């Protein structure tokens, strides 16, 4: 099942399967399952997981929530899941570099590229905060939703802290 919510990032399609959140997709989204392999099913604006996700995202965008408490299943490989789990430890309003994430996973800086690839394949952006990962020099680097969205998310979090 899925629903669509309005956000400062534009419309977001929120997808659940078997009562766990499997995706948050930026508009414009693709309607086929081929890129992700995740089923979308029918639209259901009243599904409890989707309603709770929409409520928590709305509170986040309003500066009233700094963390999410939702059932998640991003799928992915074992390494991707390790990276995504580590992303969830980056605090609200904080950032980390790809190399720092690699180090936290017990890998050398050479794994930064693999971390970046896993980061870019995160199917549940915002909630799994891949936007908090930046370049070693502090620069904004790639973001599946586009750098403008990444910058907006980081600014939203910085603004909410002050």
Q: What is the pLDDT of residue 101?
A: 96
3 state DSSP class of 101: helix
Of 64-68, 93-97, 105-109, 122-126, least confident by mean pLDDT is 105-109
3 state DSSP class of 88: coil
The answer to whether 99 and 112 are in contact (CB under 8 A) is yes
**Average pLDDT of the residues in 126-155:** 92
Of the residues 5, 130, 133, 134, which is catalytic?
A: 130
Model confidence at 37: pLDDT above 60 = no
Give bridge partners of residue 77 from the DSSP assignment. Answer: none
Q: Which tokens is 104 given?
A: 């936290």
pTM score, whole prediction? 0.91
Q: For 39-89, how does the pLDDT look when each residue is reduced to its tens digit (9 = 90+)?
A: 578 999 999 999 999 999 999 999 999 999 999 999 999 999 999 999 999
Model confidence at 152: pLDDT above 50 = yes
Q: Which tokens is 143 given?
A: 């973001």
Q: Is 130 a catalytic residue?
A: yes
């Amino acid at each position: 099942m899925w629903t669509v919510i309005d956000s400062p990032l534009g419309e977001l399609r929120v997808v659940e399967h078997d009562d766990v959140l499997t995706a948050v997709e930026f508009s414009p989204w693709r309607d086929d399952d081929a890129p992700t392999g995740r089923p979308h099913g029918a639209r259901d604006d009243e599904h409890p997981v989707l309603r709770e996700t929409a409520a928590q995202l709305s509170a986040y965008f309003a500066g009233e929530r700094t963390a999410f408490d939702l059932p998640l299943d991003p799928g992915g490989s074992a390494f991707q899941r390790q990276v995504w789990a580590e992303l969830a430890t980056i605090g609200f309003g904080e950032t980390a570099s790809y190399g720092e994430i690699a180090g936290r996973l017990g890998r050398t800086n050479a794994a930064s590229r693999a971390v970046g690839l896993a980061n870019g394949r995160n199917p549940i952006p915002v909630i799994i905060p891949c936007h908090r990962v930046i370049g070693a020099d502090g620069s904004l680097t790639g973001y599946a939703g586009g750098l403008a969205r990444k910058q907006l998310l980081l600014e939203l979090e910085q603004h909410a802290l002050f």
